[in-house]
Structure 1
Amino acid sequence: MILLCAILPLAVFALPFDASAQDEPTHPLSLRDCIDLSLASSPDALAAQERIEQARAAVKQAQAGFYPRLSINETFLRSNFAPMVFSNELAQAQLSGSFPFPPPPGFDPFGGFNNPPPLSNWNTQLLLQWPLFQGGRTFYGNRAAVRSLSASELGLKTVHNDLTFAVTSAYYEILKTENSIKIAEESVRQIRSQLDVASARFENEVALKSDVLRVTVRLAESEEALAIARHNIERAKSQLNLAMGQPVTRPLELAGTTSEALGGFVDKPSLEESLELARRNRPELEGMNKNIEALENSAGAAKAGYYPQINAFAHYDIDSEDFSDSNDSWTIGIGASLSIFDGFLTRSAVQSTRAKLREAEAQRDKLLLQIESEVKNAILAKSEAATRLDALAQSVAEAEETFRIVSDRYSEGLALVTELLDAEVALTNVRLHRLSAEYNYMVASAAIERATGGAISEGFKQ
């Protein structure tokens, strides 16, 4: 018994633990919740963040050219080449034997100096190198890297903007689909009610069998529409999970409603004001400008080959034949070099960078046109949706009243079943049209926020 009590707690901790279950939402998600989750876990956002880290590392690499470089080198040589043997003996401070100085009487300089015995030398060198002037390569290269870092940071803002719009659109799609299910359910309820009426009238021999069959067919159509709507909401939830970087099978429950969304939007500025906002706030445009600045500095770095390269150096050496004795020495100096002809390498590099710069400027002009088109299209889409909403508001009320009147008349035997079905179809269609207009209005409002570089979620009441 004591052993069993000791094992049970361990068995509990040994049970499989599903970490993904801890990540599943335990409460209805607002639009703000969905956006925050997307920005935190979407692969697109994570990839953009890693591009920033790459750019930061590139800045550090570019700045390395401003600092001295320190290295230690070890070299072993063994040779009977007279000049090398002589220099190594000098370095080891043991000039003797092969090269006696002063030469003794009878010394054969040609035999002794020209044919020395082999000599080994171990050289340990501590080397310091410092580039003093590289023709602007380091200076302009660093500036280009800093601009590229800024462009990467703006790229993250662009990704956030795109993700926010994608999440918002998917969120509204779910709200739309939920409402379409309610409309389909109401349609099924109404038709079943009318089927009961038609069946009762047929049993009382005041209606034809065809009336019952027509209502039955319409009921099947409505039930099919309801089934499609229920499948559509699962697809919409999968799309939202995808936009948030979550498994598509993750269960979702939303906290918002269409009425809240519609009530949260405010009138946007005019077209000209919106275009000006987009020119100032779109991160893609600012990021393109940073890339152009980076290329301008890269062109300056490419010209470095036209200028001399100046470096300071210093090294400390220890020379020994067998480590039993050694001699140390030091050297300092400054070196300069100027390329007279490099096979047109520098010229070609400058031309290539300038061509890339002109390409980037053309891409920026194209991007500006695309942004202006996005702003205008979004404003037109919102205006169209608003006009449709105004027109459909009255149409829905009229269709509801028409269906009520025809339904009552059919129950009293004063209307044909075709009139009843036509009224029901018209009511369902106008409700769906209004729902579509509401969705288009919300998405167009979000598109304006994205197109002008604003925070889309501010247009939704949390």
Structure 2
Amino acid sequence: MIKSNRNCINGFLFAGILNCLGCMSAAAQPKVIGIDELFELADANSKSIKVHNLAVAEAVQAVKVSKNDRLPSIEASLSFSYIGDGWMSDRDFSNGIKAEMPHFGNNFAFKATQAVYTGGAISTGIEMSELQKQVADAELDNDKQNIRFMLVGHYLDLYQLNNQRKVYQKNIEQTKLLIEEIESAFEQGTALKSDITRYELQLKNLELGLTNVLNRIKILNRELVTTIGLDTNVEIIPDTTLFAMGLDKKSELHWQEERMNAPVLKLANLGVELSERRQDMVRAGRRPTVGLMASNNFDGPILIEVPPINKNFNYWFVGVNVTYKFDSLFKNNKKLKQAKLATLKARENQLLVDEKLSNGVNAAYINLDEAYTRLDSKEKSVQLAHENYDVVHSRYINGLSLVTDMLDASNIQLSSELELANAQVGILYQYFLLKKTVGTL
């Protein structure tokens, strides 16, 4: 009777877990997605990438705007006015008299100017705009790398958790079979009730571990689908062919050379170039500007005459305009010193970024080597754990070992299988980290 009730309770609990799994599967829409498709969806739907794409478009437009400074400036104005009567007096404001004025006034002015020489300000401004466009491109690439690495991390975690789910389910089935064997031995008087209780506790811990894994899968899946723009009901199934492919580890020297194209290093290099252009812009402010100008004015009446002449007067001129700001001789020195310090800081930052990248590549490559070694070790551990479990199980059935020995063997087997699943994913993680570090993910 005790055995029957216990079996009913265990069956009910495990059936509940399977029912939850069935409900999740019914509500979810399984979809196998590979890494490349994952990246394509992120590029198309990631809100962060959309923002950076707009920043690139804005920078492209800024280059066009800065090139407009090379074009001539043309302006025209037209006005009509009512002119009131004038008043005239002596210098001591005595003997004032009213001066009749023509009341209708008109003005039309047309002016065109063309910059000939600006000390390099226009060309430097265009170069700075083009560099800002390159900065926007590098920031977009860097954002893509960060998002892709985040997605790869979630993707590998999802694969790892699915492996853990299979390991837990396998161990739950194995534990249930073992409980049945112990119950049979208990009925024959060759096992203790405490042995059954211990394995029932073991079963509960395994079921709790399975529940935890299932919940983590749901959370990770939600983060993935929302980032790549899929419906929240979609259940992402990792493409297992990815984990069977051979990785071209290459040499560390190859990866060190690849780092020169990393977006973060490009940003540091562009920071130096921008600082140098800012120095050029300050120097341009210390030079004269030369421009061509043409103007035409059509005014009426002529008010500079006394009495005023109620006629229209048109005049035009063309010429050369030369401007020099003498205050730049003592004002721009401090600005130039500030710009030089900013350039020195940008160069030091460039060296710092390159040093961090080099160290990061070295660390990632060493960790990749270690991941391969760890996988070999974990595969051997699983083999030994299975052999140990089989031996202890056989000894226990024949009354030659204690239930505590069986529990230890079960725990060792579970732990080794979970560590193997982690080690398999660890290789891919370190490989993708290496690619992300050099900006080729």
Q: Give 1:448's aligned residue.
A: 434
Which one of 193, 197, 200 corresponds to residue 216 of structure 1? 200
- Structure 1: distance between partners of 2:344 and 2:229: 37
For residue 396 of structure 1, report the CA deviation from its aligned partner.
0.8
Does structure 1 residue 298 correspond to structure 2 residue 278?
Answer: yes
Q: Give 1:430's aligned residue.
A: 416
- Structure 2: distance between partners of 1:265 and 1:450: 18
Compared CA separation, residues 271 and 176, structure 1 to 2 (3 A): same
Q: In 2, are the aligned partners of 1:79 and 1:118 still within 8 Å (CA)? A: yes
Q: In 2, are the aligned partners of 1:145 and 1:294 still within 8 Å (CA)? A: no
Does structure 1 residue 117 correspond to structure 2 residue 100?
Answer: yes
Q: In 1, are the aligned partners of 2:159 and 2:238 still within 8 Å (CA)? A: no
Q: What is the root-mean-square deviation in Å for CA atoms of aligned residues?
A: 2.6
Q: In 1, are the aligned partners of 2:34 and 2:242 still within 8 Å (CA)? A: no
Q: Give 1:41's aligned residue.
A: 45
Does structure 1 residue 74 correspond to structure 2 residue 93?
Answer: no
- Structure 2: distance between partners of 1:359 and 1:81: 65
Q: Give 2:19's aligned residue.
A: none
- Structure 1: distance between partners of 2:202 and 2:125: 72
Q: Give 1:309's aligned residue.
A: 289
Contiguous gaps of at least 5 residues in structure 2: 1-27, 88-96, 303-309
Which 4+ residue blocks in structure 1 deviate beyond 6 angstroms? 79-82
Which one of 279, 283, 294 corresponds to residue 263 of structure 2? 283
- Structure 2: distance between partners of 1:32 and 1:278: 22
Q: In 2, are the aligned partners of 1:161 and 1:450 still within 8 Å (CA)? A: yes
For residue 235 of structure 1, report the CA deviation from its aligned partner.
1.9
Q: Read off the aligned partner of 1:330 and give its amino acid letter.
A: W
Query: Which deviations, in whole Å up to 9, do the C-alpha atoms of 1:175-233 show, x marking residues without a partner?
Result: 00000000011111111111111112112221111111111111111111111111111
- Provide the secondary structure at the position in 2 that maps to 1:313: strand
For residue 363 of structure 1, report the CA deviation from its aligned partner.
1.5
Q: Give 1:252's aligned residue.
A: 235
Does structure 1 residue 261 correspond to structure 2 residue 242?
Answer: yes
Does structure 1 residue 270 correspond to structure 2 residue 251?
Answer: yes
Q: How does 1:368-407 map to 2 (within 5 A)?
A: 368-407=354-393
How many residue pairs were aligned?
397
Q: Read off the aligned partner of 2:365 and give its amino acid letter.
A: I
- Provide the secondary structure at the position in 2 that maps to 1:70: strand
Q: Read off the aligned partner of 1:145 and give its amino acid letter.
A: S
Q: In 2, are the aligned partners of 1:152 and 1:287 still within 8 Å (CA)? A: no
Q: In 1, are the aligned partners of 2:374 and 2:423 still within 8 Å (CA)? A: yes
Q: Structure 1-normalised TM-score?
A: 0.80
Q: Read off the aligned partner of 2:46 and give its amino acid letter.
A: S
Q: Read off the aligned partner of 1:187 and give its amino acid letter.
A: N
For residue 284 of structure 1, report the CA deviation from its aligned partner.
2.0
- Structure 2: distance between partners of 1:59 and 1:25: 46
Q: In 2, are the aligned partners of 1:127 and 1:316 still within 8 Å (CA)? A: yes
- Structure 1: distance between partners of 2:395 and 2:289: 99
Does structure 1 residue 160 correspond to structure 2 residue 144?
Answer: yes
Q: Read off the aligned partner of 2:53 and give its amino acid letter.
A: Q
Q: Give 2:165's aligned residue.
A: 181
Contiguous gaps of at least 5 residues in structure 1: 1-23, 83-113, 457-462
Q: How does 1:137-156 map to 2 (within 5 A)?
A: 137-156=121-140
- Percent sequence identity over aligned pairs: 20
Q: Read off the aligned partner of 1:276 and give its amino acid letter.
A: E
Query: Which deviations, in whole Å up to 9, do the C-alpha atoms of 1:80-119 show, x marking residues without a partner?
Result: 789xxxxxxxxxxxxxxxxxxxxxxxxxxxxxxx985334
Q: In 1, are the aligned partners of 2:301 and 2:313 still within 8 Å (CA)? A: no
Q: How does 1:322-333 map to 2 (within 5 A)?
A: 326-333=312-319
Q: In 2, are the aligned partners of 1:43 and 1:245 still within 8 Å (CA)? A: no
- Provide the secondary structure at the position in 2 that maps to 1:254: strand
- Provide the secondary structure at the position in 2 that maps to 1:273: helix
Q: In 2, are the aligned partners of 1:265 and 1:445 still within 8 Å (CA)? A: no
- Structure 2: distance between partners of 1:288 and 1:349: 22
- Provide the secondary structure at the position in 2 that maps to 1:253: strand
- Provide the secondary structure at the position in 2 that maps to 1:378: helix
Q: Read off the aligned partner of 2:61 and give its amino acid letter.
A: A
